[in-house]
Chains A and B, each alone.
Chain A
Amino acid sequence: SQWGEENLQALSIQEGEDVTMNCSYKTYTTVVQWYRQKSGKGPAQLILIRSNEREKRSGRLRATLDTSSQSSSLSITGTLATDTAVYFCATYNTNTGKLTFGDGTVLTVKP
């Protein structure tokens, strides 16, 4: 597997709290795509971040990418119960478009 064991985790928090999810990867990449998957649905795109961006924001979401440590993070501020989902990071091969997924983080936000 190209992913570190620390990718497999489950988090349970209260609505309104902030949360940060981390992932690390072994194969060099310059692009990481974060996805969110709700029960019974396919993964939905959240943020795509490139190595020259280091940080990218979209609403309550913030992604970081550190190619030197081969790690990425996704933070959500002011979580809502509707943020309950599995969050995946994936390395993105810019030549082929192929994604390689990490194990994901199961996030439960309690109202």
Chain B
Amino acid sequence: NAGVIQTPRHKVTGKGQEATLWCEPISGHSAVFWYRQTIVQGLEFLTYFRNQAPIDDSGMPKERFSAQMPNQSHSTLKIQSTQPQDSAVYLCASSLGGTGGNQAPLFGEGTRLSVL
């Protein structure tokens, strides 16, 4: 089991450019989560898919951020017109998706986005 795979590990973009971050969840996991981590804000929930359907995007900034899950094997987080304040580590996590608290999400190693 390779775990949650995130690519790239580090991405550097210029202000105003687009950034696409990729996540491959653990095979068989139906729930995929995106979080953002900064020193100031800590770990913030962004969005969540279950069986590829968007369930909760309450943490997503209303502009410039979008997430998709076109198939069960990958999800993408896209940031348009990146700004320096978007610099953060973006973490993807997956879980079996069942209720009852039997398994909390497992995290990938993250993508560090640096906007210059």
Contacts and interface: CB of A to CB of B under 8 A. Distances in A.
B106 A45 contact: yes
Interface in A57-97: 88, 90, 92, 94-97
Categorize the interface residue count of chain A.
20 to 34
Categorize the interface residue count of chain B.
20 to 34
Nearest to B98: A97
A49 to B, nearest CB: 10
B107 A43 contact: yes
A30 B102 CA distance: 12
B33 interface: yes
A90 B91 contact: no
Contact of B104 (A40, A99, A102): A99
Contacts of B35: 101
Given A41-B109, A48-B104, A99-B93, 10 more contacts: A42-B4, A42-B93, A42-B107, A42-B108, A88-B43, A92-B101, A95-B99, A96-B56, A97-B95, A101-B42
